[in-house]
């Protein structure tokens, strides 16, 4: 049989058949279709396509993944318009019985070929008219001429596309609104953009060029002008009223001088002075509390800024001075507008102390202990460099509003680092309380254990401090007053000297025994630490060698403010806090601190909270606190020599215990097992090795657990089959019944999330189970549809996994269909990079949406059915013993489901489903068909009605009685049949063309679209129920429909009641099947 294109020329469809794409079958590859099928079947029409098993021969089973130097542009396998054209064409086929099958095309109408793929015989698309856009004026209303039996739908004249139609509508509404206002004499309550005439006529002036109704700009202020004679809101009422921007006035020197003088007078007024004085008096308790907290923190943590050892011996007082300088700088910046917290407390960032000790250790190792001046000078530069780097980072994050990025960092890693800092403070508390200065730091060995636990003197030094810290936490666990903390440590100092006075111990003996700090007889000023800066002695190579530690310190620093600021805002009920503003303030304060040669600072959460609770929530209180820091600076470090060591040791122990408790105890039931393991591992690594290694180890461990957890996560959203998720194309009932039976050979795999090398293994194993030998005999598949609409991205490993899946499916002759992906998306580019999505040679079909993919597969099933019926008809009509038609060399043979389907489970299923449907059609209700009842002899709309209800009846006489009440309606592409909410005017039966229904269920959800092809009903339920239309129906292409109006249906009930009741039953059966499919499709797509 020669390869040709033939067209069905039935009376009901002559001249309107769309030319369909051509897909052909090569006879040379028709050897095996399914795994396990019998070899040696030689019937050309009985052997199936290895890819589809129905209508074309796959040429891809030898597909291998190779990297080509020449790339092909990736396009969809088919466009929605071509797929819809195929559905419209197939809906004209009416398989009522084998004898009545129209002569369908052989090669031009077998299968919608993949667009852009290298295949033969693609028919031109001259007859495929794309859906036309409907502009605004067309949607407003449409006229229907109801006179006469032949109903013609006459839409109004169309306006050119674009916003001009809507603009004219708005202009008309504006003019009508102005007219009503002029008649009523109403005035707008909004003075902006109102022009009031001198003659008493009020005109609302809304310049069209400044109307932002259609522009994507920020929402302006809306006017609400109403007419006094009409309560309805007109279109002009909803239009934005916006004034033209005025040019900023330039201030002269005289005006600026006057403005400054007015501000000075305002600030120096008696009312303002009285307000400031009242706030200052009210802030005295808070200032005293803040000063006590600064003294305790300064003595405790300023003393340990520099590590113990011979080089930094006696540097405790210098550290205290640096502490108060950076606290003063931060306090001034926050108080004078830097922070939105008016009573913000700034202080030294005490968590950086472990990193400072690491820096000094590295500097000593690089410079050498024999050059202490260079070590000290380099250390001072390294400390202020950390402030400058921290300030620049904070400033950039705040200026570019990137504070939210820090929140993406895993919180449990930060918690582990905090726990490591807490453990370091406990170690430091032991060293400070026991007075042990070991340059190598705290060591975990037997000698250290003996030094702290077997030495009675050392044990008596640190054990009371540790006990006092534990006692404080026991007290604060039950009592929560904010003054407990400072008064507790003041009481410790008072009791210490009471006991000393009672025993009569000399103060020099206490200093030599390590009970009181010994800072020597130095009377140096607070600014003496600046004398240690010597850029000539600074080792810049040591500074560069310490940059990894500086970066780790910077990384740790920037994590605190974005966490402290929101927490403080919640605690203080502050709603107008901008994190980026706070980061900018931190940047300025740290930059200034670095330029002044001191250490980093930040806003302290606990101190600020206590400061507010005592009455310090004003900027006056913050200014007084800054003045108290200056006062402490000028007093000097002399009073430190009278502070008991156990007070400072207890303070360090308290903070260390709090941080360890926060990391280890408080998180035990709040984090997952893997996160808890990460927290403990970071703490141990920081304690045994150093902080940089601990942070890096925590990040690596978090990445490992992330991959492990996400690989276990279900990246498969759903797995179902085509019989439960059909397309939203409304087809004739017989077609839909056939598709429902055979679509179980289509497996649908919906993926979600990020598919990477850890999670793609689960996808691959699931696909392998689908084609496993055990599952294959129970439910063989022909198509595997992979929906990638919810996939955020693919890495190279997962993309190559899909290549392996394609090879695996090609062996089983299963077509891989990808949908929900665009060529320009990250997923599409990943598929193109491994050559899985290309114009030729891949064997993969790609569609824009899942609905398009399902519609395409359904068309394939229907074409296979029609062609098998056609070939069977030709075989039965051929004479016995006739010689088979010879084919020319290279001629392609369309596939038919013939005798060789016995050993093919998939083809056997398709043939049996078709035979079952044909048998039901032949044995259906009604009289058996006669030669006069063939489709070619029937007139419309009898044939259209018979096709619509073919699954429920074949009673031609009933259809002839109904046909007299229907009226023919012709629609052009883009015509609106009805809009959602309209009252029903009747129901429609589609003879040809395609209608599209748009269901708009809610404002926040996308409308649902359903296509209705020839041989289906439209508007049936709303017409029978008399309820408003639930969808807007538009002609997607030129269509012919038959209308049963409401009046004609009432006349049918009066004249032929039994026929009307039978018709209603048929309509309800067809509607139930249609809506079941629609609801099933919606349920499986969400």
Pick from 488, 480, 418: which is nearest to 658 by CA?
A: 418
Is pLDDT at 172 greater than 90 in this prediction?
no
Task: Band the pLDDT of 947: cuts 50, 70, 90.
Answer: confident
Looking at per-residue confidence, does 1061 or 558 come out higher? 1061
**Secondary structure (3-state) at 747:** strand
**Angle at which helices 1057-1084 and 1046-1055 cross, to 10°:** 140
Omega before residue 49 within 30° of 0, cis: no
Looking at per-residue confidence, does 279 or 186 come out higher? 279
CA distances from 587 to 401, 609, 877 (A): 13, 22, 91
The CA angle 751-756-761, to the nearest 5 degrees, is 75
Is pLDDT at 165 greater than 50 in this prediction?
no
Quote the pLDDT of residue 1009: 87
Quote the pLDDT of residue 438: 63
The phi-psi region of residue 1009 (left if phi > 0; otherwise alpha if psi is between -120 and 50; otherwise beta) is beta
Distance CA 128, CA 434 (A): 92
Looking at per-residue confidence, does 98 or 261 come out higher? 261
The CA angle 1033-87-152, to the nearest 5 degrees, is 40
Distance CA 494, CA 496 (A): 5
Would you mind telling me the total number of residues written for the chain in this entry?
1086
Is pLDDT at 239 greater than 80 in this prediction?
no
Radius of gyration of the chain (CA): 42
**Sign of the dihedral defined by the CA atoms of residues 658, 660, 665, 667, in that order:** positive
Looking at per-residue confidence, does 1050 or 104 come out higher? 1050
CA count, 13 A, side-chain hemisphere, 374 = 18
Model confidence over 16-51: pLDDT tens digits? 333 333 333 333 333 344 444 433 333 333 333 333
Please tell me the least confidently modeled range out of 87-96, 739-748, 848-857.
87-96
Model confidence over 197-216: pLDDT tens digits? 333 433 433 333 333 333 33
Task: Band the pLDDT of 170: cuts 50, 70, 90.
Answer: very low
Q: Which helix (DSSP H) or strand (DSSP E) does residue 818 occupy?
A: strand 815-819
Helix, strand, coil abundance in the chain, percent, nearest 5: 50, 10, 40
Quote the pLDDT of residue 303: 82
CB-based contact 392:587 (threshold 8 Å): yes
Is pLDDT at 302 greater than 60 in this prediction?
yes
Looking at per-residue confidence, does 899 or 115 come out higher? 115
Looking at per-residue confidence, does 43 or 341 come out higher? 341
Model confidence over 655-712: pLDDT tens digits? 889 888 988 988 888 888 888 988 999 888 888 887 778 878 888 888 888 877 777 7
Task: Band the pLDDT of 590: cuts 50, 70, 90.
Answer: very high
Q: Which helix (DSSP H) or strand (DSSP E) does residue 817 occupy?
A: strand 815-819
Quote the pLDDT of residue 819: 93
Distance CA 155, CA 145 (A): 10
Spans of all domains in the chain? 175-238, 276-703, 713-848, 931-1084
pLDDT more than 70, % of the chain: 70
Quote the pLDDT of residue 480: 80
CB-based contact 155:138 (threshold 8 Å): yes
CB-based contact 290:616 (threshold 8 Å): yes
The token duo for 734 is 């017989």
- In the chain the first and final C-alpha atoms are separated, in Å, by 47
Task: Band the pLDDT of 179: cuts 50, 70, 90.
Answer: low
Specify the CATH architecture of the domain 713-848. 2-Layer Sandwich (3.30)
Distance CA 1001, CA 980 (A): 10
CB-based contact 559:414 (threshold 8 Å): yes
**Sign of the dihedral defined by the CA atoms of residues 77, 83, 86, 90, in that order:** positive
Quote the pLDDT of residue 32: 41
Pick from 574, 632, 623, 627: which is nearest to 343 by CA?
A: 623
Pick the CATH number of 931-1084 from 1.10.3720.10, 2.60.120.10, 1.20.1300.10, 1.20.1250.20: 2.60.120.10
**Secondary structure (3-state) at 400:** coil
Model confidence over 865-909: pLDDT tens digits? 888 777 766 666 655 554 444 444 443 333 344 444 444 666 666
Task: Band the pLDDT of 94: cuts 50, 70, 90.
Answer: low
CB-based contact 1060:1066 (threshold 8 Å): no
Quote the pLDDT of residue 905: 64
Task: Band the pLDDT of 389: cuts 50, 70, 90.
Answer: very high
Quote the pLDDT of residue 864: 84
Put simply, whether the predicted model's pTM sits higher than 0.85 gets the answer no
**Secondary structure (3-state) at 459:** helix
């Amino acid at each position: 049989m020669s390869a040709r294109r033939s067209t069905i020329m039935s009376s009901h469809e002559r001249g309107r058949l769309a030319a369909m794409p051509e897909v052909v079958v090569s006879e040379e590859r028709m050897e095996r279709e399914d795994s396990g099928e019998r070899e040696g079947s030689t019937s050309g029409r009985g052997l199936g396509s290895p890819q589809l098993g129905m209508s074309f021969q796959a040429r891809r089973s030898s597909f291998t993944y190779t990297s080509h130097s020449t790339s092909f542009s990736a396009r969809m396998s088919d466009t929605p318009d071509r797929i819809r054209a195929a559905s419209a064409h197939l809906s004209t086929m009416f398989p009522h019985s084998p004898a009545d099958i129209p002569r369908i095309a052989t090669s031009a109408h077998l299968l919608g070929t993949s667009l852009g793929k290298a295949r033969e015989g693609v028919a031109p698309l001259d007859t495929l008219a794309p859906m036309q856009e409907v502009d605004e004026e067309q949607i407003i209303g449409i006229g229907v001429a109801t006179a006469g039996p032949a109903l013609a739908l006459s839409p109004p004249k169309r306006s050119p596309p674009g916003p001009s139609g809507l603009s004219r509508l708005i202009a008309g509404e504006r003019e009508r609104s102005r007219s009503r206002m002029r008649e009523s004499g109403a005035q707008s309550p909004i003075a902006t953009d109102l022009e009031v005439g001198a003659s008493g006529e009020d005109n609302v002036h809304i310049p069209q060029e400044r109307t932002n109704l259609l522009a994507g700009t920020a929402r302006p202020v809306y006017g609400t002008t109403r007419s006094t004679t009409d309560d309805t809101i007109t279109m002009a009422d909803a239009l934005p009223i916006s004034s033209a921007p005025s040019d900023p006035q330039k201030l002269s020197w005289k005006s600026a001088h006057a403005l400054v003088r007015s501000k000075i007078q305002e600030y120096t007024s008696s009312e303002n002075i009285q307000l400031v004085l009242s706030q200052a008096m009210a802030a005295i308790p808070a200032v005293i509390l803040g000063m006590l907290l600064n003294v305790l923190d300064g003595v405790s943590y300023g003393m340990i800024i520099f590590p113990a050892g011979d080089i930094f011996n006696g540097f405790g007082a210098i550290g205290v001075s640096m502490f108060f300088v950076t606290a003063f700088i931060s306090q001034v910046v926050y108080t004078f507008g830097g922070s939105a917290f008016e009573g913000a407390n700034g202080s030294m960032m005490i968590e950086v102390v472990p990193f400072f000790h690491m820096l000094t250790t590295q500097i000593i190792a690089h410079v050498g202990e024999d050059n202490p001046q260079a070590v000290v000078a380099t250390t001072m530069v390294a400390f202020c460099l950390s402030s400058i780097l921290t300030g620049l980072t904070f400033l950039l994050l705040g200026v570019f509003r990137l504070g939210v990025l820090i929140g993406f960092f895993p919180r449990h890693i930060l918690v582990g680092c905090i726990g490591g800092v807490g453990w370091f403070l406990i170690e430091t508390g032991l060293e400070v309380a026991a007075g042990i200065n070991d340059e190598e730091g705290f060591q975990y060995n037997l000698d250290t254990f003996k030094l702290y636990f077997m030495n009675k003197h050392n044990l008596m030094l640190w054990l009371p401090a540790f006990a006092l810290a534990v006692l404080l936490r026991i007290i604060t666990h039950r009592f929560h007053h904010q003054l407990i903390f400072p008064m507790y440590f003041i009481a410790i100092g008072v009791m210490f000297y009471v006991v000393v006075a009672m025993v009569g111990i000399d103060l020099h003996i206490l200093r030599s025994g390590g009970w009181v700090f010994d800072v020597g007889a130095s009377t140096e000023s607070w600014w003496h630490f600046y004398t240690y800066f010597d850029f000539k002695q600074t080792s810049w190579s040591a500074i560069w060698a310490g940059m990894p530690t500086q970066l780790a310190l910077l990384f740790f620093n920037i994590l605190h403010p974005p966490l402290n600021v929101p927490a403080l805002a919640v605690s203080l009920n502050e709603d107008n806090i901008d994190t980026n503003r706070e980061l900018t303030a931190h940047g300025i304060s740290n930059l200034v601190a670095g330029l002044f040669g001191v250490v980093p600072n930040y806003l302290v959460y606990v101190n600020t909270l206590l400061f507010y609770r005592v009455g310090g929530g004003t900027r006056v209180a913050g200014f007084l606190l800054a003045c108290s820091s200056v006062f402490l600076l000028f007093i000097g470090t002399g009073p430190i020599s009278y502070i008991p060591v156990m007070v400072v040791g207890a303070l360090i122990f308290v903070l260390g215990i709090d941080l360890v408790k926060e990391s280890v105890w408080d998180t035990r039931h709040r984090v997952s097992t893997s996160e808890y393991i990460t927290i403990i591992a970071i703490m141990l690594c920081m304690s045994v090795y150093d902080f940089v290694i601990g942070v890096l180890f925590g990040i690596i461990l978090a990445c490992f657990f992330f991959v492990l957890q996400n690989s276990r996560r279900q990246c498969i959203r759903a797995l179902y089959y085509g019989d439960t998720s059909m397309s939203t194309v409304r087809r004739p009932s017989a077609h839909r019944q056939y598709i429902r039976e055979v679509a179980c050979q289509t497996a649908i795999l919906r993926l979600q999330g990020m598919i990477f090398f850890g999670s793609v293994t689960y996808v691959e194993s699931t696909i392998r189970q689908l084609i496993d030998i055990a599952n294959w005999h129970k439910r063989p598949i022909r198509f595997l549809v992979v929906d990638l609409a919810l996939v955020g991205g693919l890495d190279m490993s997962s993309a190559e996994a899909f290549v392996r899946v394609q090879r695996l499916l090609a062996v089983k002759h299963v077509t891989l269909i990808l949908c929900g992906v665009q060529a320009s998306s990250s997923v599409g580019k990943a598929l193109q990079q491994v050559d899985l999505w290309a114009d030729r040679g891949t064997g993969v079909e790609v569609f824009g949406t899942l609905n398009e993919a399902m519609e395409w597969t359904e068309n394939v099933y229907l074409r296979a059915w029609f062609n098998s019926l056609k070939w069977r008809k030709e075989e039965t009509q051929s004479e016995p013993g006739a010689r088979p038609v010879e084919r020319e060399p290279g001629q392609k043979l369309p596939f038919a489901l013939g005798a060789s389907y016995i050993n093919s489970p998939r083809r056997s299923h398709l043939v049996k489903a078709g035979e079952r449907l044909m048998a039901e059609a032949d044995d259906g209700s009604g009289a058996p068909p006669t030669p006069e009842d063939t489709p070619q002899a029937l007139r419309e709309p009898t044939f259209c009605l018979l096709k619509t209800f073919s699954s429920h009846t074949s009673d031609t006489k009933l259809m002839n009685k109904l046909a007299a009440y229907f009226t023919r309606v012709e629609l052009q592409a883009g015509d609106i049949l009805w809009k959602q909410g309209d009252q029903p005017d009747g129901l429609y039966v589609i003879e040809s063309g395609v209608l599209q229904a748009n269901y708009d269920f809610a404002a926040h959800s996308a409308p649902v679209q359903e296509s209705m092809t020839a041989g289906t009903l439209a508007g049936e339920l709303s017409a029978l129920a008399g309820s408003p239309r639930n969808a807007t129906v538009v002609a997607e292409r030129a269509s012919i429909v038959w209308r049963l109006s409401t009046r004609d249906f009432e006349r049918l009930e009066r004249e032929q009641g039994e026929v009307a009741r039978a018709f209603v039953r048929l309509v309800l059966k067809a509607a139930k099947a249609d809506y079941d499919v629609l609801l099933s499709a919606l349920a499986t797509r969400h």
